[in-house]
A and B are shown apart, each in its own frame.
Chain A
């Protein structure tokens, strides 16, 4: 996987814009790092990319951070597992991915509708051996991760809406509810 620094910067800028404009929470970033492929989340918002950039992006949270951030965004207290909670997490992921996509200058890229996985300590794995880049984000309402697993596909024809799960599989430990 060839990591495009411009893509990573696009996610940093988009996340900052979404959180400062619509969530009203300042966000700071830790240094982006290579994913281990074994990151675990309690709540994930997943967006697939297709066209000149292919892959997917996961916005991953602990339960506590997801509840706090989604509640601030929605303007009311949300409960894990409710449709409104999933809707808020999905829309956050959608705005981050859409904002980043807009900064992929000169590239024809489509994003899919978000999917949201809610299950304690689930793991998102990619069918490819490509490593992802994890951007850890800190806010007053909690920490979350943007797990970027995309790459340029110069020869790929632009296509329509991306598959919502972007080819990823969620590995959910036994005994947890999806």
Chain B
């Protein structure tokens, strides 16, 4: 599985990379904000995008809207401190597939990733 990891915090990217490592993911591209992700996503061709919300330059929700406007269907999981119901709804309506709230345990994030990918696979098979 190829994962595009978008977060302005290198510390958080390293933590998430550790979680991805436990899932056997080794093909990881990093981006520090939404605009950086826009510039990398087409060339990298990820199977999954893990996306922070609050970032400088271009935030996560703007990236989602920009990306989905191009009819791109790659699953996106928002990984963010934004935990309010209204924010979750906004993200889902914009095209996010799933949502993980910081702080998270490695087990929680792993489960969310696995659940999301399983749903995507089931949808493709249907």
Whether A98 and B102, one on each chain, are in contact in the complex, defined by CB atoms closer than 8 angstroms, is yes
Give the distance in Å from the alpha carbon of A56 to the alpha carbon of B32 in the complex: 24
Given contacts A94-B54, A95-B81, A102-B82, contact A73 B102 (CB under 8 A): no
Given contacts A94-B81, A102-B84, A113-B54, contact A18 B103 (CB under 8 A): yes
DSSP majority for the B interface? loop
Cβ contact of A111, chosen from B10, B18, B54, cutoff 8 A = B54
Which among B11, B82, B101, B102 has the greatest number of chain A C-beta atoms within 10 A? B11
Give the distance in Å from the alpha carbon of A97 to the alpha carbon of B15 in the complex: 19
- Chain B hits for A88, CB < 8 A: 9, 11
Is B14 in contact with chain A by the CB < 8 A criterion? yes
CB proximity of B106 to chain A, nearest CB, Å: 10
Which among B8, B12, B101, B103 has the greatest number of chain A C-beta atoms within 10 A? B103
Give the distance in Å from the alpha carbon of A102 to the alpha carbon of B12 in the complex: 19
Which among A18, A75, A95, A97 has the greatest number of chain B C-beta atoms within 10 A? A95
Interface string of B70-82 (1 = CB under 8 A from A): 0000000000111
Number of contact residues on A: which range applies? 20 to 34
- Chain A hits for B84, CB < 8 A: 101-102
- Chain A hits for B101, CB < 8 A: 102
Give the distance in Å from the alpha carbon of A80 to the alpha carbon of B12 in the complex: 18
Which residues of chain A from 53 to 104 have any CB-CB distance to chain B below 8 Å in the complex? 73-75, 83-84, 87-88, 90-91, 94-95, 97-99, 101-102
Whether B81 and A74, one on each chain, are in contact in the complex, defined by CB atoms closer than 8 angstroms, is no
Is A21 in contact with chain B by the CB < 8 A criterion? yes
Whether B15 and A75, one on each chain, are in contact in the complex, defined by CB atoms closer than 8 angstroms, is yes
Closest to B59 in A: A161
Give the distance in Å from the alpha carbon of A94 to the alpha carbon of B15 in the complex: 15
Q: A interface vs B, CB < 8 Å?
A: 17-18, 21-22, 73-75, 83-84, 87-88, 90-91, 94-95, 97-99, 101-102, 111, 113, 161
Q: List 15 A-B contacts (CB under 8 A).
A: A18-B103, A74-B11, A83-B10, A84-B11, A87-B9, A88-B11, A91-B9, A91-B12, A94-B81, A95-B81, A95-B102, A98-B80, A98-B102, A113-B55, A113-B56
Instruction: With A74-B14, A91-B12, A97-B81 given, name 10 new contacts (CB 8 A).
Output: A22-B102, A73-B11, A87-B9, A98-B83, A101-B81, A102-B82, A102-B101, A111-B54, A113-B54, A113-B55
Q: B interface vs A, CB < 8 Å?
A: 8-12, 14-15, 18, 54-56, 59, 80-84, 101-105
